[in-house]
Structure 1
Amino acid sequence: MAALAYRFTPDLFDEPAPAPETAAREMPLRSAASLSERRFTAWRGRSGRRYVASVFPVEDSHALSFTDAVLLAVTAERQIVAARDSGPFGVEAALARWQRSVAEAGAREIHVHLLAEDGASRRAALLDLMPQADAAD
């Protein structure tokens, strides 16, 4: 009986690594494109990593009720203007001040990423997604 041999081709199933980005960019979920209300989206960080998030209007306080989440303040032009960790117990006063300040800065939505497993994962996501200051400043 002849033995079967299979050759593993790593890029056959894996996405090719994207070139490093200078800024995070939104990559809306194709599976949610037909929905009348946009409840979920995804962001591609500068590293190429993908972050799925729930979408809330900036004035919706429910967006601030999640613990251990990454919060992204997003403008109508689909730019992240601020990002933060909600913390382990969501300090309401601090989160409400943040919500008001990002709304004043032009944010129209808060995107909530809940899939970061621990504090280190949330910090890594924040560093990957947060807007970068210009080096010339």
Structure 2
Amino acid sequence: MAALAYRHHDLRQNDLFAQAPISQGRFAEDLFAEQDEAPTAREIPMRSSAGLSERRFTAWRGRSGQRYVASIFAIGDGHALGFTDAVLLAVSADRRILAARDSGPFGIEAALTRWQQSVAAAGASEIHVHLLAEDGISRRAALLDLMPEV
């Protein structure tokens, strides 16, 4: 039965390409040229905290589609820098990620304070802290997925 479903899927995919305007002199890569912008990370507010007067948590959807839950801290709140092995996101008032970094295993205070000051000067109003990445590889993957394109 699975083979039939797979074969049916292939037929449908072929039909989509057969209906595409390639026959009008367009190349296959032109079909995807309409996607001018690369996908970017976007904030997805959490419904469970929608009724609260103070937003404490949010979620971000990375370019890959992966969801990352984060705690929200004001840019000047030193508690945001006290976490070890966390992904830190500097977020602007218009809800864009300006910068991202790994807090590291030791939470080196001087380096994190300099980062906090530089992102505040760049326009960040909040620091979002993602604590659910289990190891260094997971944090690196989250950073690559969430970091703004340069």
Bin of the TM-score, shorter chain as denominator length: 0.7 to 0.9
Counting only pairs closer than 5 Å after superposition, residues 46-65 of structure 1 correspond to structure 2 as: 46-65=63-82
Note the residue ranges of structure 2 that are not aligned, 5 or more in a row.
Answer: 1-37
**Higher Rg:** 2
Matches of 1:43 and 1:74 in 2, distance apart?
Answer: 11
What is residue 21 of structure 2 aligned with on the other side? none
Question: Greater helix share, 1 or 2?
Answer: 2
Q: Say whether residues 1:116 and 2:133 are aligned partners.
A: yes
Matches of 1:110 and 1:34 in 2, distance apart?
Answer: 21
Matches of 1:23 and 1:87 in 2, distance apart?
Answer: 24
Could you tell me the percent identity over the aligned residues? 77
Counting only pairs closer than 5 Å after superposition, residues 71-90 of structure 1 correspond to structure 2 as: 71-90=88-107
Matches of 2:138 and 2:40 in 1, distance apart?
Answer: 19
Q: Which amino acid aligns with 1:42?
A: A
What is residue 101 of structure 1 aligned with on the other side? 118
Matches of 1:43 and 1:112 in 2, distance apart?
Answer: 11
1:110 CA drift (Å) = 0.1
SS of equivalent to 1:55:
strand
Q: Say whether residues 1:68 and 2:89 are aligned partners.
A: no
Cα distance per residue 1:19-71 (max 9 Å; x no partner) = xx611000000000000000000000000000000000000010000000000
What is residue 148 of structure 2 aligned with on the other side? 131
Matches of 2:94 and 2:39 in 1, distance apart?
Answer: 17
Matches of 2:105 and 2:146 in 1, distance apart?
Answer: 20
Q: Which amino acid aligns with 1:129?
A: L
What is residue 32 of structure 1 aligned with on the other side? 49
* TM-score normalised by the chain length of structure 1: 0.82
Matches of 2:75 and 2:93 in 1, distance apart?
Answer: 11
1:90 CA drift (Å) = 0.3
RMSD: 0.6
Matches of 1:102 and 1:59 in 2, distance apart?
Answer: 11
Note the residue ranges of structure 1 that are not aligned, 5 or more in a row.
Answer: 1-20
Moved over 6 A (4+): none
Q: Which amino acid aligns with 1:94?
A: A
